[in-house]
Amino acid sequence: MIGFIVKRFINYAILSAIATLSAYVLASLILNPAGRYLGRNPRPSDETINAILNGLGVNPHTPVVERLWTWLVNLVTHGSLGDTIHNTSVISEMTARAGTSLRLLILGTIIAAIVGVVIGVWGAVRQYKFSDQAISYASFTVLATPSFVLGILLMIVATFVNSTLGIQLINFTGEYTAGLDGGWWVHFWDRAAHLLLPTISLALMGAAGYSRYQRSAMLDVLSADYIRTARSKGRTRGSALVRHGVRVALIPMSTYFAYSFATVLAGAAVTELVFSWHGMGEMLVQAITQSDINAFTGAILFNAILVLIAGTLSDVVYAALDPRVRV
Amino acid sequence: MTDSTRQTNEATRHTHARGKRGDTPPDTAGHLLEVRNLSVTFPQPGGAVTAVRGVNYHVDKGEFLGIVGESGSGKSVSSLAVMGLLPSSAQVGGDILFEGRSLLGRSDRELSRLRGEGISIIFQDPLSALTPVYTIGTQIAEALQLHDKKLSKLAANGRAVELLKVVGIPNPERRAQAFPHEFSGGMRQRAMIAIAIANNPRLIIADEPTTALDVTIQAQILEVLQKAKDLTGAAVVLITHDLGVVAGNADRIAVMYAGRIVETGTVEEVFRAPSMPYTIGLLRSMPSLATAGHTRLVPLEGRPPQLANLGPGCPFAPRCPVAVDACLITEPPLTPIAGNELNAAACLRVGEIASGALNRAKLYPVPEPVALEERAKVAPASVLGVDGLVRHFPLTRGTVFKHTIGTVRAVDGVSFDLKSGQTLGLVGESGCGKSTTIMEILELARPQAGRITVNGRDVAAMGGKERRGLRRDIQVVFQDPMASLDPRLPIQDIVAEPLTVHGVPAKERLTKVREVLELVGLDPSMASRYPHEFSGGQRQRIGIARALVTDPKILVLDEPVSALDVSIQAGVINLLEDLQEKLGLSYLFVAHDLAVVRQIADTVAVMYLGRIVECGPSEDIFDNPRHPYTLALLSAVPVPDPALERSRRRIILEGELPSPTEDISGCNFRARCPLYQLIDAEGQEKCRTLDPARRQVAGSSVACHHAEHLDLMTDHHAPKTLRSGG
Amino acid sequence: MSMIEEMPIADTSAGTQDVIRSAKPVSRFRLVLSRLRSTPRFWVGIVGLGAIILWAVFGLVPNAWNATDLDVYNMGSSPTALHWFGTSDIGEDIYAQTIVGLRKSLVIGLLVGPLAAIVAGIVGAVAGYLGGWWDRVIIWFIDLLLVLPSLFLFILLSPIFKSLSWVALIFLLAGFGWMIMARVIRAQTMSLRERDFIKAARFMGVDTWTIIRRHVLPNVSSLLIIDATLGVGGAILSETTLSFFGFGIQAPDVSLGTLLSAGQGAAATRPWLFVFPAAILVFTVLSASLVGDALRDAVDPTSGVNRD
């Protein structure tokens, strides 16, 4: 079992590394960091621009392979991901933003997974009954809604709620209210109020996807012979489904979790942007619009590490759930 | 051996003690289970399907009832109805009484109290029937705790181990901790039986319990089932498609056809004097180990009706050779024969058949053999030679760094010779390497070791072009006729496919396709149809037609009839026999069904663990086996003849086929060999150290050091093996 | 499984005597069609999709305004009889703009879905059938793209595509939309490879590419059709998301994404600028995915059959 997880971990680690490196190469080929200085007034001299680009290690005149090598050496020897075009280190930029993104991601995924599994099982057990139909149509609708639309719609609803109640109950711009006075409790509450809509938005998207998948996994299990065996021993249908069915139907979910995680990351990035959070998603998009190769690679590395952790975690869960992979 | 017996006895006593404690409600109606006019209907998009149409039967305490029927006859559905395990959409009519109380209309909760405690069931496929994520022990303990809330977990686990011991699982303490995927098929089925008898039920329903298993394992399981029955005193309903299985075990049998019971009676009555033409036809069409090879099989033409659109009249009438006009108008009721309520048949002409006015033996016309002038002349020559063929697969372990930890010796030095115009039957249990052997041959590539020669040419020495040309001469027919035909192509394209490889022009292909379709008894006008429009037997004929389209010399037949219903098999076997005569084909016929092999093969090779342990003329192998494995294999095959079946004593092989990865010194059959137990110390030493090579003993070549002492086994275990003609 | 075996009708593909005699064979296609017809979800989806397409084609006919018209007398108007979906700050008719945007989004979706399915089919079948190194390399490539969210790649590649026409976006979306399905096709092909009819073809000497073309692809075609259908919705979603953030369709072209982007700022105060295009978008994607899901249920006879 440990061997299995180690193997999967190594697999993910290599994938993450290749993803990051190819992101660096791609970004170097596509983005034009010099363009930013060419448009300035007065236009800096070519030497100045070259000097700046060399300082960042992104001068297009240096071959990509050489720059990649320098970047790698820096990473390994100094643990540095280079500097952003604003001359801050990418690492410090990331540490400032990572917490924001992680809070949203972790809460959102956990809620999504739990809600998705529960309503998926419920839908499968009540197949074609009204509740199943309602859940199905609801999740199809959520899945048909782009995350930015979902976020904005939630904002419209929140504005309506706030104006109806006459107080600012739900906050939805930014991560916290700037310049707020009060103790930690006030701050905590403020952050929680800001967290509400983005989390709902992300969790809704996730739950809709998970519930469809869990429903079909559960439907496969419903007709399985061992459910019949469990009933033939003297279990009622309900108890057989819970004790034998759900337990087995969770196994494919653990794999699906790893596969869907990249989608969740993209969804989280969009959600951050919509709610004007200064998270990793914003960093990534800004890096591209500002042609910041180092910052972009840093953001991709962050995502790759998250995929690595999520993938390994799902394999641990998989091995724990399914005795057939334990060796 | 003796140790395990003692353990079993202890466990037996324990079970008995508990059995006495359990209180049995008073038996009011006299019958333990009574099914009255049961009907089951499944609503389907295309209209409702009535799978069971008015079934009546009863089972008394301690009785053994066999229900026999082909697929689609409604036998499993009716037993699931008894358990209350049908899908909720099923509409159940009639009544089911268990110990005098009706089971229909009861809630799931009420029924669940009865399931496992009063009635328990053993399902067909033991892999999918056990929950993959719980240990075997847990799943047995669960059955116990569900019906005895006071039972502690520890006590339940202890009982689970005892039960595993009862059903003959070695090392039960350790095996109780194992998961289903760590068990072999036979062991899982034993575990299923352990679950079924855990609460000493009064009725055990066994739904095709041995269908997925090999014959030697089937013999073991049937023995365990008998033992479980004796132990618990439960009545047993055994549902099967295999007449041989019920012949030796059941007291009474009921034959089902198209959702109804068409004949019922004691085993002797039904087998000796069948009165329903369907039963008669079924018995005639089955190759029996006792009679096969001497007479032509009598095919039961046609196929079972679709239950979705049954017309009026007897559903068997379209296939019945003695149907009269009245048969097409009304469906005959189950009519007692000679006033005996328990022996009845659903046929309008039952009186004539019972009185002998209609001769049972002449009911079905025996097909004529191929006329002498139509027979192809073949010069005796070796068309396919296999010498020392080896196919080993590396067994890798290690997830991070793969390394080889062993070798699967799938084929480990197989040699045989196929003569032109002859049939070589390659038999063995699953996992013995027979499929790998033929796949190796069909690849026509250089084997890992050994030599394959076709028409005297070594395939290893061939170039690509010559090899492609050779593929004309050697063609294959697969087991599952549905899987071997591409569902997306019309059959003319399927049959013509081998010709396209050899660049035959389209027009010529078409005439050839029509020709071979006619040859296998299909209407060439159906050539533009798709495979799913044909019945199983017809599809297998299409598969044979495809193999014949290149005018091959050799046909490799991989279990060509084992996926077919019994009544369909005979027609295909006869066809194969006729084609061989007419075209002078040579067959390499791979099968696990020994009766079928005896019917068709001239020479037989018995495989065990990648080796051929005995090879010789069919007559010698079947009448006078020389290897202990062949002897045991033959004795395990059930014969559809109750008298013969009861007088036979089975040689039950201990344990299961060892994993082919094990490197066994000496004889690899030693661990299971009954003869090894009986031989003296010196002889045993020889078996342990010396790998027996094949040598000529009487008519056949045998890989056993002690083939001459095989009498030891027959003296101890069974009377002489089967003699043809009884 | 014994239940299935016991009910011959469950094997609906098995022909009856009547079928064999009847002139018209019951094809798998007709079977799927009859199953589809009894699925309400299919009807909701196909009617919705049909209505959307008809609306996109003919919707401008009854409207007095074109997408490029500016009504300077009614700037920032709420929905009225004159401007059914209201107008923007500079007096653009939102109804007309929505239809024009919808056309673009539909064209993108309807092209990308099938295109991605074709790529998925070929790549998946090759990986699954050939196995070995082919398989490993392809799977690694697919996994890589799954680790790297395709949205980020789109954004990264957008500078290139901005300079090309919007048609380039179609190829971009198709180029990154095939991975998950390719894995499914690969798994399906691997099981097909073990099926006897493929083995039979191999033993007859049929060459590899013919087997893939003649036997593998037709047998995964139902999956590909489903994928193409589901891909329509997915492509529209990707396109709108990209355009929303300014990485996709560029002015002067209009798509639902650019429209939503324009309406975003006023979403809370003048919701018609946002809600109407958003509702149309959701409705379109929903209809396409309902059809895809109903197709999946109809093609796979075991899906949705709850034996208890």
Q: What is the mean pLDDT of residues A241-248?
A: 91
Specify the higher pLDDT residue, A210 or B9: A210
Q: Are B499 and B509 in contact (CB under 8 A)?
A: yes
Specify the higher pLDDT residue, B176 or C249: B176
Q: Are C280 and C102 in contact (CB under 8 A)?
A: yes
Binding-face residues of C in 205-264 toward A, CB within 8 A: 233, 237, 240-241, 244-245, 260, 264
Q: Which residues contact C12 (CB under 8 A, 6 or more apart)?
A: B46, C31, C301
Residue B96 bridge partners (DSSP): B35
**Other residues' Cβ atoms within 10 Å of the Cβ of residue A16:** 23
Q: What is the mean pLDDT of residues B632-651?
A: 86
- The whole-chain average pLDDT of chain A stands at 86
Cβ–Cβ gap A7/B130 under 8 Å: no
pLDDT at C307: 42
Q: How many CA atoms lie within 13 A of B119 on its CB side?
A: 28
pLDDT at B719: 43
pLDDT at B399: 52
DSSP B524: G
Q: What is the mean pLDDT of residues B602-618?
A: 93
- Residue that has been written with the tokens 């390394």 in this structure: B403
Per residue in B17-74, pLDDT (tens digit) is 333 333 444 444 579 999 999 999 988 766 788 899 999 999 999 999 999 998 888 8
C74 close contact with B: CB closer than 8 A: no
Q: What is the mean pLDDT of residues B440-457?
A: 91
H/E element, B384? strand B382-397
Token duo for residue B684:
């045993």
Q: What is the mean pLDDT of residues B439-458?
A: 91
| Domain A1-321 annotated CATH 1.10.3720.10 | yes
DSSP C199: H
DSSP A222: H
Specify the higher pLDDT residue, B304 or C1: B304
Is B256 a residue whose pLDDT tops 50?
yes
Mutate to test the interface with C, among B241, B256, B435, B486 (most CBs of C within 10 A): B486
Q: Which residues in chain C touch residue B318, judged by CB atoms under 8 angstroms apart?
A: 17
Q: CA angle, corner B686, sides to B681 and B689, nearest 5?
A: 120
Q: Which residues in chain C touch residue B486, judged by CB atoms under 8 angstroms apart?
A: 197, 201, 214-215, 218-219
Token duo for residue A140:
């199809």
Per residue in B117-137, pLDDT (tens digit) is 999 999 987 778 999 999 999
pLDDT at A38: 72
Q: What is the mean pLDDT of residues B441-449?
A: 91
Q: Are A30 and C157 in contact (CB under 8 A)?
A: yes
Q: Cα C193 to the chain's mean position, in Å? A: 28
**Band (C301; pLDDT cuts 50, 70, 90):** low
Percentage of residues in chain B having pLDDT higher than 90: 45
Q: Which residues contact B302 (CB under 8 A, 6 or more apart)?
A: B318, B319
Token duo for residue A139:
């999740």
Laid out side by side, the sheet with B695-697 consists of: B474-477, B554-558, B586-591, B423-427, B603-608, B611-617, B700-702, B695-697
Q: What is the mean pLDDT of residues B566-588?
A: 91
Is B515 a residue whose pLDDT tops 90?
yes
Q: Which residues in chain C touch residue B72, judged by CB atoms under 8 angstroms apart?
A: 5-8
Per residue in A52-82, pLDDT (tens digit) is 877 777 777 788 888 888 888 888 888 788 8
Q: What is the mean pLDDT of residues B704-719?
A: 74
Laid out side by side, the sheet with B252-257 consists of: B119-122, B203-207, B235-240, B64-69, B252-257, B260-266, B340-345, B335-337
Is A212 a residue whose pLDDT tops 50?
yes
Report the C-alpha gap between C212 and B715 in whole angstroms: 59
Q: How big is chain A, counted in residues?
A: 327
Report the C-alpha gap between A59 and A53 in whole angstroms: 5
Cβ–Cβ gap A233/B398 under 8 Å: no
Q: Which of B616, B569, B617 is nearest to B593 (CA)?
A: B569
Cβ–Cβ gap B123/A236 under 8 Å: no
Task: Tell me the C-alpha to C-alpha distance, in Å, between residue A102 and each of A125, C17, C157.
Answer: 34, 64, 26
Least CB–CB distance from B497: residue in C14, C26, C201: C201
Token duo for residue A213:
């998948």
Chains linked to A by 3 or more Cβ pairs within 8 Å: B, C
pLDDT at A37: 75
Q: Which of A189-193, B687-691, C180-184 has the lowest mean pLDDT?
A: A189-193
Report the C-alpha gap between A261 and B265 in whole angstroms: 64
3-state secondary structure B675-703: HHHHCCHHHHHHHHHCCCCCEEECCEEEC
Token duo for residue B288:
């029996």
Q: How big is chain C, counted in residues?
A: 308
pLDDT at A1: 67
Determine the straight-line distance between the first and last CA of chain C, rounded to whole angstroms: 13
Q: Is B216 helix (H, G, I), strand (E, B) or coil?
A: helix
A223 close contact with C: CB closer than 8 A: yes
Chains linked to B by 3 or more Cβ pairs within 8 Å: A, C
Q: Which of A113-122, A238-247, C16-25 has the lowest mean pLDDT?
A: C16-25
- The whole-chain average pLDDT of chain C stands at 81
Chain C nearest C-alpha distance from B486 (Å): 6
Mutate to test the interface with A, among B136, B192, B400, B403 (most CBs of A within 10 A): B400
pLDDT at B397: 65
Per residue in A267-291, pLDDT (tens digit) is 999 999 988 888 898 899 888 888 8
Laid out side by side, the sheet with B33-42 consists of: B49-59, B33-42, B91-98, B101-102
Cβ–Cβ gap A232/B146 under 8 Å: no
Q: Which residues in chain C touch residue B42, judged by CB atoms under 8 angstroms apart?
A: 7, 9
Q: Which residues contact C153 (CB under 8 A, 6 or more apart)?
A: A26, C145, C176
3-state secondary structure B393-452: EEEEECCCCCEEEEEEEEEEEEEEEEECCCEEEEECCCCCCHHHHHHHHHHCCCCCEEEE
Segment of A210-224, B147-161, B299-313, C171-185 carrying the highest mean pLDDT:
B147-161
Q: How many CA atoms lie within 13 A of B499 on its CB side?
A: 22
H/E element, B204? strand B203-207
CA dihedral B71, B76, B81, B87 (to 10 degrees): -70
Q: Are B545 and B484 in contact (CB under 8 A)?
A: no
Is A131 a residue whose pLDDT tops 70?
yes
Global pTM value = 0.82
Dihedrals phi, psi of B362, to nearest 5 degrees: -110, 10
Residue B91 bridge partners (DSSP): B41
Report the C-alpha gap between A242 and A227 in whole angstroms: 10
pLDDT at B723: 41
Q: Which residues contact C147 (CB under 8 A, 6 or more apart)?
A: A12, A15, A16, A19, A262, A304, A307
Instruction: Please report, for chain A, the start and end positions of each structural domain, with discontinuous segments joined by +.
Output: 1-321
**Band (B646; pLDDT cuts 50, 70, 90):** confident
Helix crossing, B277-285 with B566-583: angle to 10°? 40
- Residue that has been written with the tokens 């049959």 in this structure: B495
- The whole-chain average pLDDT of chain B stands at 86
H/E element, C275? helix C272-299
pLDDT at A327: 54
Cβ–Cβ gap C260/A222 under 8 Å: no
Report the C-alpha gap between B201 and B362 in whole angstroms: 45
Q: Are B542 and B490 in contact (CB under 8 A)?
A: no
Residue B260 bridge partners (DSSP): B257
Residue A234, by phi and psi: left (phi above 0), alpha (psi -120 to 50) or beta? left
Q: Is B462 helix (H, G, I), strand (E, B) or coil?
A: coil
**Band (B400; pLDDT cuts 50, 70, 90):** low
Per residue in B466-495, pLDDT (tens digit) is 888 899 999 999 988 888 898 888 899 999
C200 close contact with B: CB closer than 8 A: yes
Q: Are B307 and C9 in contact (CB under 8 A)?
A: yes
Q: Are A81 and A94 in contact (CB under 8 A)?
A: yes
Mutate to test the interface with B, among A226, A237, A241, A246 (most CBs of B within 10 A): A226
Q: Which of B298, B318, B462 is nearest to B369 (CA)?
A: B298
Q: Cα C235 to the chain's mean position, in Å? A: 6
Segment of B94-103, B394-403, B649-658 carrying the highest mean pLDDT:
B94-103
**Band (B422; pLDDT cuts 50, 70, 90):** very high
pLDDT at B26: 43
pLDDT at B260: 93
Residue B58 bridge partners (DSSP): B34
Q: What residue in B sits closest to A10 (Cα-Cα)? A: B400
Q: How many CA atoms lie within 13 A of C27 on its CB side?
A: 9
Percentage of residues in chain B having pLDDT higher than 70: 93
Q: What is the mean pLDDT of residues C104-108?
A: 93
Is C18 a residue whose pLDDT tops 70?
no
pLDDT at B45: 65
Q: CA angle, corner B581, sides to B580 and B587, nearest 5?
A: 25
Q: What is the mean pLDDT of residues B701-708?
A: 91
Report the C-alpha gap between B570 and B593 in whole angstroms: 13
Least CB–CB distance from B400: residue in A7, A228, A244: A7
Is B87 a residue whose pLDDT tops 80?
yes
Is A263 a residue whose pLDDT tops 90?
no
DSSP C214: I
Token duo for residue B214:
């090999």
Token duo for residue B490:
């019309």
Q: How big is chain B, counted in residues?
A: 726
Per residue in A229-238, pLDDT (tens digit) is 999 999 998 8
Specify the higher pLDDT residue, A106 or C302: A106
pLDDT at B20: 38
Q: What is the mean pLDDT of residues A46-56?
A: 80
- The ipTM is 0.84
Q: Are B296 and B364 in contact (CB under 8 A)?
A: no
Cβ–Cβ gap B123/C200 under 8 Å: no
